[in-house]
């Protein structure tokens, strides 16, 4: 009987917590940060390291079912400096020249390694042939992928 008095509150607590209503999370059917439907790559390239810094993985440029253009980094994407200070650019040249504003387009920041989708608005023309990884705090380019 003594054991029952000691165990009873724990049984009650366990039963009470297990009977609470579970919250069901329903995913949002339209996510503006992802392509609408199938992503169809038109050009792709493999990241090359630069200036002693590592950059690996695949970048793809393509569009979704609504013809919105996207830049995609595959799950194998990684850099030495993926800390939030890494800026992604599309460039007409292998080397980024911040003084020649007509030769590049800023895309977004990379904060973590892995898969990313970057919505490109307006559409990027075929003259942008390189994806550039730039560390703004050090003013150094440390990776690029030529889009073929």
- Residue-wise pLDDT for 64-113, tens only, equals 999 999 999 999 999 987 667 789 999 999 999 999 999 999 999 998 99
In the chain, what are the domain boundaries? 40-146
Using the predicted structure, report yes or no on whether residue 13 has a pLDDT greater than 70: no
Alpha carbons 148 and 89: distance in angstroms, whole number: 16
The answer on pLDDT for 63 being more than 60 is yes
- Alpha-carbon distances, residue 17 vs 6, 13, 24, 41, 99 (angstroms): 18, 6, 17, 49, 62
């Amino acid at each position: 009987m003594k054991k029952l008095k000691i165990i009873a509150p724990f049984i009650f607590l366990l039963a009470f917590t297990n009977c609470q209503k579970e919250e069901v999370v329903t995913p949002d059917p339209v996510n503006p940060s992802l392509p609408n439907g199938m992503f169809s790559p038109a050009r792709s390239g493999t990241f090359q390291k630069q200036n002693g810094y590592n950059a690996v993985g695949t970048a793809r440029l393509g569009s979704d079912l609504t013809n919105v253009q996207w830049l995609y980094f595959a799950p194998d994407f990684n850099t030495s400096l993926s800390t939030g200070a890494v800026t992604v650019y599309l460039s007409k040249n292998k080397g980024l020249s911040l003084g020649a504003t007509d030769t590049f387009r800023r895309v977004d920041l990379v904060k973590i390694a892995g898969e990313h989708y970057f919505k490109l608005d307006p559409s990027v023309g075929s003259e942008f042939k390189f994806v550039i990884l730039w560390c703004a705090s050090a003013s150094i380019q440390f990776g690029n992928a030529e889009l073929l």
